[in-house]
A and B are shown apart, each in its own frame.
Chain A
Amino acid sequence: MKTAATLEFRHVRKEYDGAPAPAITDLSFAVGAGEICVLVGPSGSGKTTAMRLANRMLEPTSGDILLDGRSVMARKPADLRREIGYAIQQIGLFPHQTVAGNIGTVPRLLHWDRRRIEDRVFELLDLIGLPAEMARRYPAQLSGGQRQRVGVARALAADPPLLLMDEPFGAIDPINRERLQNEFLRLQARLRKTVVFVTHDIDEAIKMGDRIAILKEGGRLAQYAPPAELLMEPADRFVEDFVGADRALKRLALQRVRDIDLWKAATVRVGEPVEQARAKLAAADLDIMLLVDDAARPVGWLSETALQGERVRAELRSSAEPVVELDDILRDALADLLMAETQYGPVVDGSGAVAGVLSIEALSHALTTEPDDLPSPTELIPGEDAAG
């Protein structure tokens, strides 16, 4: 079995008996292998219905769904489902089975031998960050977040090429929710599964999705695009309203400082010839010089008086704060600038050396231009410290 499969909906229609209108009218879209596709929309938009059609928990009225190019309709539902991970908001852990028993569910259905199931259980516990002794606990003995992790581990147990997740973090408090989202993205960076993720929360969609399918009433696809495109160029009024008036701000969460064009700074050291410093200043995007130490780390902004002589003197007009990092998310970097009540701040790389200057002007420029290559959500996960 492949680690990730493609999924394609072809003119899928779903009518429920007795319902006046179809839940899904005519839905077509394709998910690439290893991508997270988020289905998002208001209630009644058919997003959960669409997800449940993929593993035949529901049968389409017409149309076809292809998993790795093969129609799911040609498969026995139970066999198909064992190949597709399934995690739902209510989790649905089996209360009469231990954590190990729950995680080993699909491997047991697939008749793996006991040794292999046991190894897999411990591998998954490690993957989701639960201690091995949790294996013997019952679901009732776990916290909500732990249960949710076990639910994800259970969905991943047989290494399915497709994972269906229906509001998996919907019932979790905001703090743990963000933590679980980050954990999942970190996991996904390693596993590279194809994921269909259902949510009603546009912020979660933007955070989690490689691509977002915005659905409206009757399962109509309003727009299917990567998050940045959705925010930059909403296809219609519905999408515009759905992503919210703050869509420009939301884009800030999608990029890191390194993704935008930084200003070139004039970095000078104490004792450097003033002549040379003035030449640097002429070539820089900023009419003020940044004093750095021997390791090129920012010290502060130089005052005019520092250049009154032959060599640069250590006379500062202000400190270098705020210093932002190349890996910071734009939203956080902007927050730093606003907090420090300044228009710009030096940007440093991993070693602390100055890599450029981030200004509010550069930020707003970045928001109005289309970036060539936006990072995948798995590249935007905050560091462990932020998550933990």
Chain B
Amino acid sequence: MSGLLVLAQIVPRNRAGHQTCVQRNGFCPRWIVDNIGNYKEPFLRHVELTVLAVAFGFAIAFALALVAHRRRWLVGPITAVTGILYTLPSLAVFFLLQPITGRGVTTALIALTAYTLLILFRNVTLGLDNVPAEIKDAARGQGFSDRQLLWRVELPLALPEIIAGLRIAATTTVGLATLAFLAGAGGLGEPLFDGGEGINFQSNVVVAGGLCVLLAIALDLLLLGVQRAASPWQRARG
């Protein structure tokens, strides 16, 4: 990180057009308009990294939560392990993984995925635990098998918590994925930190950072929409 701080001192140079604004390191709308096309690829990569990491993370955490739902004693160990993964600095993980998986998307995805597990596992487990006992009793008493109980009653009722977990995971992953370029995976971190060459060019930070924020908001709203569409009963009150 100290290397980045040193680089931060260097004034951006060699940029086409609008020298004054760019050289002043100001906020340069014209420069942004001219260069907006350069953000497309990092942005799409950022979306890819985020969506895949959350999707893989969800698949793993969901499976773990279902296993732990039947075998309660597993909740503690799984929480502990995913908790450790959550606390590991992603930068360290990138570098630790490089000898094994090399530089690139795979390395970044593994780190980002690992990071989502705790949030997702905890929320799925919480959602399943919060299903009222009398509802499960009524379901069993009417002849639901364990599998039917899970898929037709427990999971639909746990959906709000599950999606809340996905929303947290998605927004944090959007932020974390800005470091993926350090693992050679690209993403909006590259323009944000100017590819490691120089940081703090304001227009660049504003656009790249703005795209991150927009992506986070878009994913959040998308998931919120899914939740609302999937649980109409939650809005049905008295």
Contacts and interface: CB of A to CB of B under 8 A. Distances in A.
Contacts of B134: 88, 90-92
A251 interface: no
B80 interface: no
Interface in B187-238: 231, 233, 236-238
Interface string A270-307: 00000000000000000000000000000000000000
Contacts of B136: 92
Given A95-B157, A97-B233, A140-B236, A78 B139 contact: no
Which of A78, A88, A96, A97 gathers most chain B CB within 10 Å? A96
A109 B236 contact: no
16 contacts: A55-B141, A57-B140, A78-B144, A82-B143, A86-B142, A88-B137, A91-B138, A92-B135, A92-B136, A94-B135, A94-B139, A94-B153, A140-B233, A140-B236, A141-B237, A154-B142
B144 A109 contact: yes
A78 B145 contact: yes
Given A94-B138, A140-B238, 19 more contacts: A77-B143, A78-B145, A80-B143, A81-B140, A81-B143, A90-B132, A90-B134, A92-B132, A92-B134, A92-B135, A92-B136, A92-B137, A94-B157, A96-B156, A106-B142, A109-B143, A109-B148, A140-B233, A141-B237
B64 to A, nearest CB: 24
Nearest to A97: B233
Question: Main SS of the interface on chain B?
Answer: helix
Given A96-B233, A140-B237, A140-B238, A79 B143 contact: yes
Interface in B128-165: 132, 134-145, 148, 153, 156-157
Contacts of A137: 236
Nearest to B145: A78
Contacts of A94: 135, 138-139, 153, 157
Which of B143, B231, B236 gathers most chain A CB within 10 Å? B143
Nearest to A157: B142
A105 interface: yes
Interface range, B side: 20 to 34
B236 A138 contact: yes
Contact of A82 (B132, B135, B142, B153): B142
Interface in A33-88: 55, 57, 77-82, 86, 88
A93 interface: yes
B142 A93 contact: no
Contacts of A97: 233
A14 B106 CA distance: 57
Given A91-B134, A96-B231, A96-B233, A86 B141 contact: yes
A141 B142 contact: no
Given A96-B233, A97-B233, A141-B236, A81 B142 contact: yes
A309 B231 CA distance: 87
A96 B157 contact: yes
A92 B238 contact: no
B143 to A, nearest CB: 4
Interface string A314-331: 000000000000000000
B233 A138 contact: yes
B76 to A, nearest CB: 23
Nearest to B146: A78
A96 to B, nearest CB: 5
A154 B140 CA distance: 13
Contacts of A80: 143
A86 B138 CA distance: 7
Contacts of A82: 142-143
Contacts of B132: 90, 92
Contact of B138 (A79, A88, A140): A88
A55 B143 CA distance: 9
Nearest to B238: A141
B147 to A, nearest CB: 10
A109 B138 contact: no
A88 B141 contact: yes
Nearest to A141: B236
Contacts of B237: 140-141
A151 B153 CA distance: 16
Contacts of A78: 143-145
B143 A95 contact: no
Contacts of A88: 134, 137-138, 141
Which of B139, B157, B237 gathers most chain A CB within 10 Å? B139
A151 B143 CA distance: 15
Contacts of A79: 143
A98 B233 CA distance: 8
A98 B156 CA distance: 13
B143 A106 contact: yes
A164 B142 CA distance: 11
User: Which 8 residue pairs of A and B lie closest in terms of their CB atoms, listed nearest first?
Assistant: A92-B138, A82-B143, A90-B134, A86-B141, A81-B143, A138-B236, A92-B134, A138-B233
Nearest to A136: B236
A137 B143 CA distance: 24
A96 B137 CA distance: 16
Interface in B97-144: 132, 134-144
Nearest to B152: A94
A105 B156 CA distance: 15
A277 to B, nearest CB: 66
